[in-house]
Each structure stands twice: as C-alpha cells, then as structure tokens.
Amino acid sequence: MNPSTGEVFAQVPASGKEDVDRAFHAAEKAFETWRDSTPSGSSRC
C-alpha cells in the first residue's frame, strides 16, 4: 500500500511453512540444472 495515497498496488498470498518449504525445494532443484548453463542458455528459462 502506498502510505501517501492509500492505494493498494500489490497483494501477496498468506503462505505457511509448507508452502515456503515446497518453493525452496523447487528452486533448489531447478538451480542444479540452471547453474551449469551458459548466459545465453539461461536467458531462455
């Protein structure tokens, strides 16, 4: 929320520990493949 206008400009879901853990493990798994890619290869992801 913009404090000067009160305008809401973003919303985020309420996430629990399980959601965060699931997102972390998905990112960790994706990084295993992504880290060895070239800059031109990783830009296609």
pLDDT, tens digit (0-9, with 9 covering 90-100), for 17-42: 999 999 999 999 999 888 888 877 66
Answer yes or no: is pLDDT of 45 > 70: no
pLDDT attached to residue 40: 75
What tokens appear for 14 in the block? 């309420």
- CA quadruple 44, 19, 21, 34: dihedral, nearest 10: 0
Q: Where are the alpha helices (DSSP H) in 1-45?
A: 17-34, 39-42
> Is-contact 32 24, C-beta < 8 A?
no
Residue located via tokens 């798994």: 29
pLDDT of residue 9: 92
Full-model pTM: 0.52
Written as six digits, the tokens of 17 are 């520990």
